[in-house]
A and B are shown apart, each in its own frame.
Chain A
Amino acid sequence: MLKEQLQKFFKIDRRWIFLLLAVTLFVPIMKPLGLPNKTISPATKRVYENLEKLPAGSFVLFSLDYDPSTRPELHPMATALVRHAFSRNLKVGVVTYIAGSTGLIEELFAKVSREYNKVDGQDYVIFPYQPNILAVLTQMSSDLYGIYSKDRNGTPVRDMPVLKGIKSYKDMSVIVCVTGTAILDYWVAYVGDKYRVPVAGGVTAISQPGYGPYLQTNQLKGLIGGMKGAAEYESLIKQPGKGTSGIDALNLAHLLVLALIFTSNILLILIRYL
């Protein structure tokens, strides 16, 4: 009798679980709980340290290659990275090889450049979207202006103060690629390894484990993974943002999953031995 009752648990309509998950994720958005995010992974810290140690005026290239489908994970980390670069008075260049990211880049720089009083063309430059990433990466190794003669508004870039002294990868201090695609692999293989330029990355949580080997061999100078990584970076620069606020929801959702797995297993054991 009890066995049959317990077996009913495994026949519940899965929509109840969807609803429970929706509530679990929604509640912290309406009323943040402020659960702490105390662990900072060494890989995230390495990205931070790579930017932190650069002298003011160094040129950092951001390859922001994500579109709205991965925005919740990658936009907060891109925002935190740009904030960090601006706070250190680094010169920033932005390239993208995903057409859908152009709007997000505009949104990001419209907001963050105002926070730090940074001027387009003087402190940062946003290059236009380019198709065929491999051809572009190869060309940039010899002459940046051969492929990017104008910025995304059609303004010639050669005489821009932000690009003074920048001609190819060897003039760049660090390259950081934020992406939910394999574009980071291209940066590592075709630029980092080939031209000995430090390359760091920010990726979705799904692709994070796959980059472990690059971190171990130091081919990647650091890696920010998923919303958790974004929250870690926000903690490092002491500017909480969307990543930090998402940690509440993630923690609760993970607890829910753990509770469901635990309950199911206990019930299965009980059913087996009853």
Chain B
Amino acid sequence: MEFFTHSWAMLAGQLAHGWVWFCGLFVVTESWMIAGGWVATGLTIFLFSFLYKDNPFFKVAEHLYLGAGMGWLFQVSVTNVWIPKIWEPVSKGELLVIIPSVLGLSLLTQFVPKISWISRYGFTFMMGYGAGLAIPAGLSTDFISQIGGTIKPFSMLATMSPWAIFNSLVVACGAICVLFYFFFSVEHKGHLKKVSNVGIYFLMIYFGAAFGNTVMARFSLLYGRFDDVYTYSGAKYFYASQIILLGMVVYFLVRWFTGKDKKELDAEETAG
């Protein structure tokens, strides 16, 4: 008896020790930070290598991204939605949460054609709830307030500076001309065509500004990745960026000199 008790105690001790060791793997240490740096810079370089040409490293990074993304979403759904919003309340006896949960689950019946009609209950609730929230807010914020904002300055012209008056006129003129451009019940010809054309110019200016900002945003993101790649190129990270970049260059050179790239090109041309 004492032998069994002792054995169990030993086993429990070993398990506890193993568990502590396992948990210790997930404690953020300096080594983990360095490994994280290698993974981050490696994946960045692998993904950017596609700009040169498609390659297995890019494929690995691409698939890893999709897999990791799905895994991340799953754990977020379980830990941030399922457990706190459904499991914990039900465990405490708050059974009302079962009703929205069932409505939510009903959406999954879409995958079974025979009972897919059940999903309508869930969708009905979502539509009603969504429309009830969105329509009044949308009307007030994006419609009435915007019309008010365009008209209001004209009631205060006496107190406004010439520049502010000019601005208000431009805004009002732009709003009217652009709206008219999208009004199709009158044929756009003569003077009406001119109004419509002015609307096009306002739209073009907006698209230009939006495109310019998009370019700036993309450069900012690229800068952010390069900044990280540069950070991980330091001695603290054992020159992760340089080593991985060099590895990629060697890979492409080897393929080039062994003629594999040429064979692939020929195969593509033949297939094409």
Q: Which residues of A contact B (CB under 8 A)?
A: 15, 18, 21-22, 25-26, 29-30, 69-73, 99-100, 128-131, 134, 138, 188-190, 193-194, 204-206, 208-210, 213, 216-219, 225-228, 242, 246, 249-250, 253-254, 257
Contact = CB atoms under 8 A, between A and B. Distances in A.
B249 to A, nearest CB: 13
25 contacts: A18-B51, A22-B226, A25-B222, A29-B227, A72-B227, A99-B72, A129-B76, A130-B80, A131-B80, A131-B81, A188-B141, A189-B140, A193-B145, A206-B217, A208-B213, A209-B206, A209-B209, A217-B145, A217-B148, A219-B145, A226-B213, A226-B220, A227-B216, A246-B224, A246-B227
A99 B51 contact: no
Interface string B136-167: 01101110011011000000000000000000
The 5 closest A-B pairs by CB, nearest first: A72-B224, A217-B149, A205-B217, A189-B141, A227-B220
Given A72-B221, A227-B216, A227-B220, 5 more contacts: A25-B226, A128-B80, A193-B141, A209-B213, A217-B148
B138 A250 contact: no
A242 B149 CA distance: 36
Nearest to A219: B145
A204 B216 CA distance: 9
A21 B85 CA distance: 48
Interface centre among A15, A189, A193, A218 (most CB of B within 10 A): A189
Contacts of A206: 210, 213-214, 217
Nearest to B215: A257
A216 B137 CA distance: 18
Interface centre among B140, B209, B213, B223 (most CB of A within 10 A): B223
B169 interface: no
Given A25-B226, A209-B206, A250 B51 contact: no
B3 interface: no
Contacts of A22: 226
Interface in B18-34: none
B219 interface: yes
Contact of B217 (A21, A99, A128, A226): A226
A219 B141 contact: yes
Contacts of A99: 72, 76, 80
Interface of B: 51-52, 72, 76, 80-81, 85, 133, 137-138, 140-142, 145-146, 148-149, 171, 206, 209-210, 213-217, 219-227, 230
Nearest to B138: A189
Given A71-B224, A131-B80, A26 B217 contact: no
A246 B220 CA distance: 7
Contacts, number: 111
Contacts of B210: 206, 209-210
Contacts of B213: 205-206, 208-209, 225-226
Contact of A29 (B145, B171, B223): B223
Contacts of B224: 71-73, 246
Contact of B146 (A21, A204, A217): A217
Nearest to A68: B224
A131 B224 CA distance: 28
A129 B145 contact: no
B64 to A, nearest CB: 15
A77 to B, nearest CB: 11
B140 A249 contact: no
Contacts of A216: 149, 171
Interface centre among A29, A130, A138 (most CB of B within 10 A): A29
B145 A250 contact: no
A117 B83 CA distance: 34
Contact of A189 (B142, B148, B214, B225): B142
B142 to A, nearest CB: 7
A30 B230 contact: yes
Nearest to B233: A30
Contacts of A138: 133
B216 A254 contact: yes
B76 A226 contact: no
